[in-house]
Amino acid sequence: GTATALRLAEEGRAAGAPRLAALRDRLVAGVLDAVPGAVLTGPAVDARLADGSPARLPGHASFVFPGLGGEAVLLELEERGVVCSSGSACAADSDDASHVLLAMGLGEDAARTAVRLTLGPTTTPEEVEDVVRLLPEAVAAAGGAALLPA
């Protein structure tokens, strides 16, 4: 019953983590290359905890686009078919700055501009490349041309 379902879900999560981490790493590298003014929130993709485990979730990347509202970037991405969220999951239904991003050291304004991209078991490499290709257009349309390469 439930115990078997939980065991299978955990096994699937653990087995899929390396693939998701590789997709996340490509997404992060692609975003930071395509939008040099973007800032990755949280630890570096290769950061480790004291026990040697990864410091980042495998299917999660959050970025701040200085000077732009996260909601503006989010809406521009959604117009291009990319579904994402602003802020942190802990503050998804609030206009307040995410307490998680504030605790990570982001200022009040920056914590309100974060865009969160999550990857799942059905995410493909092509979808990641689509986000990397579409993000500069979305940032420019949101008023962030200064964040893009010359």
DSSP 8-state symbol, 61: E
Q: At what angle do helices 125-141 and 2-34 cross, to 10 degrees?
A: 50
Task: Report the 3 state secondary structure along 38-55.
Answer: CEECCCCCCCECCCCCEC
Active site residue 90: yes
Euclidean distance between CA atoms 71 and 112, whole angstroms: 9
Contact by Cβ (8 Å): 116, 87: yes
Residue in this structure with the two tokens 């693939």, named with its chain if needed: 19
- In single-letter form, the type of residue at position 71 comes to E
List 6, 8, 29, 90, catalytic entry? 90
Residue in this structure with the two tokens 């914590």, named with its chain if needed: 111
* Strand partners for 105: none
Q: What is the set of active-site residues?
A: 90
